[in-house]
Amino acid sequence: MIAKKIVVAALGLTTVSMAQAATIYEGNGLSYKLKGDWQIQLRQKAGADKELDVEFDDLELKNSIVYTLNDDLKAFGQLDYSFDGEGNDSSKESAKLEEAYVGLDFGTAAVAIGRQNLAGDEFGVEAALETHTAQDRFEQVADKGDDVIRLDASFDNVTVIASALIGAESSANGSGEAFDLFVATQLAGVELAAAYQTYNANTAGAEDQNTWGISAAYNFGFAALAADYSTTDTGAGDKDVSNLAAKFKLSPTTKMAIGVVKSDEGSTDTTEWYTNVEYKFPTQKNVSLFAEIADTDEPNSDLGYLAGMRIKF
């Protein structure tokens, strides 16, 4: 399905991103799992006078520890390192702490504290491998931080995620403060989601920025179609991003996506289109090849393209 993490979010923090993980140790109420996600690609970005480059897009190692405390309670911790960056560019940060949080899982709800994504990061239906423009307004304003308290909860057919970014000096977003709320459900086969964020940079003269978004997706069998819209009231005018995306399953091993992203920054209005294809080897679904082309309506923009390989465990 296209709608971002709606089903995954309902599973709780202790199982997110661990479906393909390697179990390093399991016993005495302790489970330690390691997950890898490695993607390297050749890419020439859309735009004027861009050059072909090697990108290390996803080079991540994710460590997950879960302790069973009793039948209804688990303690968990997540420590993720990212080695993303671009080849032949020493100015890019190539190694960093991506996530670091601990929490308690009560079954239908989990609470975590530390460096992690805000609830608004779950929003969006964009299906590009890479984008030249913004994916959504939550990404543009604030979608993660060092000082985050987050609650994930699932109630029958509804997923609710709430998060607060505390305005501490160690925040990944400076000294900013934010509160995010994300809600998702399914009605008659349609995936619906909505998100809201209020953010303040806590700098001299800074005003609150209020962002909200809505999305819908439906799987017709032969194709999954989705759309979203998000907007930010900056105090000096609205900034908007909208997406239309379609995914097609061409065969059991091959899928394709087509999409359009429209970004309105007030003085700048940009439309980007993309199409991509991914092939997973039938004997090892965690090994895949992919390619994408994309372009924008910006002046003198040249066609962008990429091709690469991804290995996960």
pLDDT attached to residue 264: 92
Top pLDDT among 133 and 216 is at 216
Q: What mean pLDDT comes out for the span 141-146?
A: 92
Q: Is residue 24 predicted with pLDDT exceeding 70?
A: yes
DSSP-assigned letters across all residues of 1-69: --STTHHHHTT-GGGTT-TT-EEEEEETTEEEEEEEEEEEEEEE-SBTT---EEEEEEEEEEEEEEEEE
Please tell me the distance from the alpha carbon of residue 183 to that of residue 157, in angstroms, as a whole number.
11
Domains in the chain (CATH in brackets) are: 6-312 (2.40.160.10)
Helix (H) / strand (E) containing 176: none
pLDDT for the residue numbered 311: 96
What's the pLDDT score for residue 92?
58
pLDDT digits (tens, 9 = 90+) for 57-77: 889 999 999 999 999 999 999
Q: Is the pTM of this model over 0.85?
A: yes
Whether the pLDDT of residue 88 is over 70: the answer is: no
Task: Say which residue, 140 or 8, is predicted with more confidence.
Answer: 140
For residue 89, pLDDT over 50 is answered with yes
Q: DSSP 3-state helix, strand, coil percentages of the chain (rounded to 5)?
A: 5, 65, 30
Residue 46 binned pLDDT confidence (cut-offs 50, 70, 90): confident
- Of 17-26, 107-116, 295-304, give the lowest mean pLDDT range: 17-26
pLDDT at 162 over 70: yes
Residue 95, pLDDT score: 73
pLDDT at 14 over 90: no
- Helix, strand or coil, per DSSP, at residue 174: coil
Element (H, E) at 266: none
- Examine the pLDDT at 48 and tell me if it is beyond 90: no
- Return the pLDDT at 4: 57
**CA separation, residue 27 to residues 23, 66, 70, 78, 215 (Å):** 11, 11, 14, 18, 42
Amino acid present at 27: G
More confident residue, 252 or 8: 252
Q: Closest Cα partner for 306 from 286, 277, 283, 279?
A: 277
Q: Using CA atoms, how far apart are residues 155 and 134, in angstroms rounded to an integer?
A: 31
Residue 237 pLDDT: 77
The predicted structure's pLDDT at residue 132: 81
pLDDT band at 28 (very low <50, low <70, confident <90, very high): very high
- Asked if 143 and 121 count as a contact pair (C-beta separation under 8 A), the reply is yes
Give the residue, 20 or 242, on which the prediction is more confident: 242
pLDDT at 288 over 60: yes
For 80-149, the DSSP string reads: EEE--EETT-TTS---EEEEEEEEEE-SSEEEEEEEEE-GGGG------SS-SS-S-HHHHH--EEEEEE
